[in-house]
């Protein structure tokens, strides 16, 4: 049995698919942009559900599916403007699919759900108009009671 080396690990990660190599970023690390690579992990007591899920997901537009790197898993690629991991997993569970419920999987899911939700929320928020933002603060300052205001009528003030 040969020893695993970094070169061998990269070779396995980037193995040839249909004549071209596919880069696989780790499924649970930050990925810039809206196209995400995730890994669905299934309960090892139900290995038949991996292929059932592949068939279910292959019907979704914009979804790319491949065998996962871990046993009982699938690698999926999707755009978060179309799908979210939380939505996909919820739909699969409604179909009776049993996902891996190890502590590691639960933590990774929660982290990915949070990151995707935050990214989508940030994408929906309009960009702040930096040049006019001081007006908002100036108006708020004018209406806020504070000690820098002289309430003496202008006609009673003396120019010194």
Q: Consecutive 10-residue runs of the chain (160 residues): their mean pLDDT?
A: 70 55 61 87 93 92 89 92 95 95 93 92 75 72 70 73
Q: What is the pLDDT of residue 111?
A: 92
Q: What is the pLDDT of residue 18?
A: 47
φ, ψ for residue 102, nearest 5 deg:
-70, 160
| Sheet with strand 64-67: strands edge to edge | 35-41, 73-79, 64-67
Q: What is the pLDDT of residue 105?
A: 92
Kindly indicate whether the domain formed by 22-146 is annotated with CATH number 3.30.56.10.
no
Closest Cα partner for 35 from 89, 77, 85? Answer: 77
Q: On the CB side of 70, how many CA atoms lie within 13 Å of its CA?
A: 14
- pTM for this one? 0.63
Sketch the domain layout of the chain as residue ranges.
22-146
Q: What is the pLDDT of residue 57?
A: 93
Q: What is the pLDDT of residue 149?
A: 67
Q: What is the pLDDT of residue 124?
A: 85
């Amino acid at each position: 049995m040969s020893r695993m080396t970094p070169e061998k690990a990269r070779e396995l990660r980037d193995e040839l698919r249909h004549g071209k190599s596919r880069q696989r970023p780790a499924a649970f690390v930050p990925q810039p942009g809206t196209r995400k690579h995730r890994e669905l992990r299934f309960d090892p007591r139900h290995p038949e559900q991996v292929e059932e899920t592949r068939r279910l997901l292959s019907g979704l537009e914009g979804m790319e599916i491949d065998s996962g790197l871990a046993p009982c898993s699938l690698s999926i690629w999707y755009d978060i403007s179309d799908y979210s991991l939380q939505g996909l997993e919820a739909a699969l569970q409604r179909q009776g699919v049993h996902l891996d419920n190890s502590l590691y999987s639960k933590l990774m899911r929660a982290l990915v759900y949070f990151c995707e939700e935050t990214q989508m929320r940030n994408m929906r928020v309009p960009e702040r108009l930096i040049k006019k933002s001081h007006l908002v603060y100036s108006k708020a300052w004018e209406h806020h009671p504070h000690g820098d205001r002289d309430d003496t009528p202008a006609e009673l003030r003396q120019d010194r």
